[in-house]
Amino acid sequence: MISLTRLTNGTLKRTAPEMNPLLEIRNLQTSFHTPYGTGRAVNGVSFSMNKGEIIGLAGESGSGKTMTALSILRLLPENKVHISAEALRFNGLDLLSMTDEEMRMIRGHKISMIFQDPVAFLNPAFTIGQQLTDTILTHMKISKQEAAALAVETLSKVGFTAPEHKFHYYPHQLSGGMAQRTMIAQAIVTRPQLLIADEIATSLDATLQNQIIDLMLLIRQELSSAMILITHNLALISQMADRIAMMYAGEIVEIADKENLFRNPFHPYTIGLLESIPRIDKKSEFLKTIPGNIPDIFHYPAGCNFSDRCPRVMEICCHKKPGYYELSPGHKALCWLGERAATT
Ligand code: SF4
């Protein structure tokens, strides 16, 4: 798969994948076992990413984006969830065969996740400085004083003014933007190689959203961390990602570099989502929508998962699952229309 590398002058260059990608996922499947049956939340997700690359996982709520991230980190209850994959490797290490203790050392150190709701994630009983210091001491062999100094430095890095003072704040003293910055500080304080950010700017107003985007891009530049951005906000992803994977019903239905996906969207789901974005240059009375809902994880259609909402559905789509078609280097779509495109 073709990827993008940022050159030192800031431009992007297409590159072949590294021999050893930072993250390699092949045919990831995540199933939930419930009294009502087995539901498949992730259905054969595959992608790999290089060091420093930003991949956006986009799609409506319930499309499997967060489940993919939680599966990578094995943060789902093992007694109820079954995760399998042909490959789930980070830096060549097989994440699925690691012990719980080994996974704990990877999480929050080599791979960090920034969650959607920072206030719920932060412990109200401890100051943010204490929480940051504890994270540092869990993963780094340094003294308490050094950890506290690193915590203050990280608060400053994520944009806190007077960080020595804010170090002593409790979570209830933080505004929404400050709470999100604290979560980002928690995630980057150990300089992870991979950051997973789940809807990090969704609940913020436009000004704060832009500040968080700038901050994340600065972090990528400084730490060279790769990032997986999970969002339903295509405008946000367009500002940050190098590549975009569109998810629907637990599958990646289209993946391409950002420019290609926005200029030449192929999958009817991608086209539908792009047409539903409000545009100032288009005078239309109503925004387009995609009728219907994502199928629930217990009842997928027999053929293409998008068949009951797709404006271009064909007979074959209703009874036979499509495969991936490569439309151009690195641009793939899971759609029977790809077969036609390949033969015309
Ligand atoms: S396979 Fe058929 S139903 Fe599915 S997205 Fe393509 S055209 Fe639509």
Q: 137-196: per-residue pLDDT in tens?
A: 988 899 999 999 999 999 998 889 999 999 999 999 998 888 888 988 988 888 899 999
Rounded Cα distance between 63 and 306, Å, is: 11
Residue with token string 């539903």: 276
Rounded to whole angstroms, how far apart are CA atoms 299 and 289?
Answer: 23
Find the 280 Cα to ligand 1 centroid distance in Å. 30
How high does pLDDT run on average in the chain? 88
Dist. CA 109–CA 189, nearest whole Å = 8
Which string of b and e fits 37-57 if b means at least 16 CB within 10 Å?
A: eebbbbbbbbbbbbbbbbbbb
**Strand pairing class (54-58; 226-231):** parallel
Write down the pLDDT at residue 216: 86
Query: Measuring from each residue's beta carbon to the nearest atom of ligand 1, which residues come in under 6 Å?
Result: 267-268, 304, 306-307, 310, 312-314, 317, 322, 335-337
Looking from the CA of residue 338, the nearest atom of ligand 1 is 6
Bigger pLDDT: 118 or 133?
Answer: 133
More confident residue, 9 or 287: 287
Give the confidence band of 2 by pLDDT, cuts at 50, 70, 90: very low
To the nearest 5 percent, what fractions of the chain are helix, strand and coil? 35, 25, 40
pLDDT of res. 65 = 95
What's the average model confidence in pLDDT over 49-72?
A: 94
Residue identifier of the C-alpha nearest atom 7 of ligand 1: 313
Q: Which atom of ligand 1 is nearest to the CA of 318?
A: 3
Contacts of 284 (CB under 8 A, 6+ apart): none
Of 289, 287, 325, 288, whose CA–CA distance to 304 is shortest?
A: 325
Of residues 254 and 204, more confidence is placed in 254
Interval between CA 321 and ligand 1 midpoint (Å): 9
* R_g of the chain computed on alpha carbons: 21
Asked whether residue 344 carries a pLDDT value surpassing 60, the answer given is no
Residue 8 has pLDDT above 80, yes or no: no
DSSP 18: P
Instruction: Tell me if 160 sits within 8 A of 176, measured CB to CB.
Output: no
Ligand 1, atom 1: nearest CA belongs to which residue? 335
**Cα 58 to ligand 1 centre (Å):** 18
**Atom 3 of ligand 1, nearest CA residue:** 307
| Residue 214 pLDDT | 84
